[in-house]
Amino acid sequence: MKLPKVLLFLFLFQIHDAQLDAYLDYQSPFHPTISENGMVVSQNLESSEIGTMILESGGNAVDAAVAVGFSLTTTLPRAGNIGGGGFMLVYIKETEELFSIDYRSRSSLNSNLKDLFGSKSPAQIQDDDYDLTKYDYKASAVPGTVYGLLEAHERFGDLPLEKVLQPAIDQARNGIIVSYDLHNAIGSSYQLKKDPESRKIYFQNNKPIAIGSLMKRPDLAKTFEAISKEGKDGFYDGWVAEKIQSSMKDNGGFIDENDLEQYSSKFRDPIGVNYRGYSVYTQGPPSGGGITFLTALNVLSYFNLGKYRKDSSLTYHLLAEALRRGHNNRSHHVGDPDYYDVPTEELISKGRAKLLAKNISFDKASKASSIQKYNHIEESKDTTHYSVIDRNGNAVSNTYTLGYSFGSGVTIPGTGILMNNQMRNFAYKYGDKTSTSRASSPGNRFEPGKRPMSTMHPVMVFNKKGELSLITGSPGGSQIPAANLRVVTGVIDFDLHVGDATMLPRIHKDWPYADLDFESTVSQDNLNLLDRIGHQLELSDTIGSTQSIQIIDGTNYGFADLRRPNAGVSIEKSN
């Protein structure tokens, strides 16, 4: 029997409408970018696109990561850098090997306490005395980024260095359009305004360079060219090194040609734990953040987190308690392993975690004094992270920093190099018997030539079959472990895809401080319950900015955190 035309039209329309609804009906508003080809996720989309340009030119994940690291110096100058340092995890699929490169900045061999604090003893040092470790020339440690990125390229890269760096050279020379975020970051930087060379680059008519204007970086392009042709010597020797050491000498800084010649990155063993059958790896010392993060996972392993809701007050409470114990674990005996025998295995052992978990109550926030330490230095949020995977499964997780936003504020004249302020990250109160915080840590006490402790810790997770399943990391200073922990537990404990795991509301709790920092997206009901059991609540800015790639059955799912603007995922185009 034939349907009347009107009924047939309505029937077909309903089918079409139902199909349309099904197509548009997504389970989540946070959509990962999906591809079986290579992928780059960074805090600036233009830099991500330079990474995939290298992949499309025949480069591997390491080649792309090096290009992104140099590009971010132009697109994200407050954190992207060649004047700072960081940590990189490299996974080589063919051999199934994981490598860790420590290219943390190190203090000058000429640096000393007298030039920083005069004749004051550790007990006499007050907050106002730290300015020389934060701003201007004495604040800078020897940069490690160029050495670390080029060491990775020499060991694992496929393309010639000149080809890898050419897009970043062109970008610096041709310039970028100044975004709202960059304009306002420049305007809020106290230290940029103090330095004559930085004022010439970042200000026009004494105002931050205007939104929508073209910012060219010719001096930086020349520095990149020198590095592309001469390798490490293009930075640590030759005319660039001469400009660094002469500027330091003229302005009372510590770094000289000997410091530059003696700097090298270090291959170190990654550290990891088994968390519910997943192998979770990160950076070991001098990263204290890695120890904080793995300790928190170990503590949480004694609780069935998955049986609670992903956004319940009990979940937030357990995250806070685990993080607090993780920060306690890094506060005394973590520092540069070349200078201090860090008891890493003991700190991240299950036995230590069991001891720390033992006194967690479900209905009461812990006191700092109740957490047994193993027998505050201000940390900046302006770090950046990026994740890379190529079509063959090789991967990079990289986190690096200048320290504060725009580092020390010092730009070396004629080079475009913005310098770090990592000298602020040592424990200068060591020896003050009245201090129990990280500021008096024996592991992180100041010594010339030493690398300061850091909370940066790039992360890679392998599933129960031993396959790479997650690449992630974040900026955020002392809040980095909280950001990484929320993403990893979101994926493992709550079976979320990387977009949903990234956008879960975040909290942070340190040690020995009482505050529980929370993002504005945490519900008021949860805050009321957390307050009721004794957490001292403090509204925070956004916590971290994770740039992540999840791998499921050979397909890559990339997600750039929405917490900071201009981040983006770029995928390699098919040939």
Give the residue among 223, 259, 301 at the shortest CA–CA distance from 143.
Answer: 259
Q: pLDDT above 90 covers what percent of the chain? A: 84
pLDDT digits (tens, 9 = 90+) for 258-305: 999 999 999 999 999 999 999 999 999 999 999 999 999 999 999 999
pLDDT attached to residue 128: 86
pLDDT attached to residue 21: 52
Q: Which residue has the tokens 């709202």?
A: 180
Beta bridge partners of 517: 508, 538
Give the residue among 568, 559, 549 at the shortest CA–CA distance from 468.
Answer: 549
How many CA atoms, within 13 angstroms, populate the side-chain half-sphere of residue 475? 26
Assess whether 223 carries a catalytic annotation.
no
Integer Cα distance of 445 and 259 in angstroms: 20
In the chain, the domains with their CATH numbers are: 35-268+386-424 (no CATH), 270-358+455-564 (1.10.246.130)
pLDDT attached to residue 434: 82
Whether residue 372 is predicted with pLDDT greater than 90 in this model: the reply is: no
Catalytic residue among 52, 282, 383, 455: 383
Q: How confident is the model at residue 24 (pLDDT cuts 50, 70, 90)?
A: low
Integer Cα distance of 381 and 33 in angstroms: 26
Angle (deg, nearest 10), helices 161-174 and 61-75: 20
How much is the average pLDDT of 41-63?
98
As a whole number, the mean pLDDT across the chain is 92
SS3 314: helix
> 413 and 201 in contact (C-beta within 8 Å)?
no
Q: pLDDT above 70 covers what percent of the chain? A: 93
Give 175: exposed, middle or buried? Use CB within 10 Å, 0-12, 13-18, 19+: middle
Q: How many CB atoms lie within 10 A of CB 205?
A: 6
SS3 560: strand
pLDDT attached to residue 380: 57
Integer Cα distance of 238 and 240 in angstroms: 6
pLDDT attached to residue 227: 98
Q: How confident is the model at residue 421 (pLDDT cuts 50, 70, 90)?
A: very high
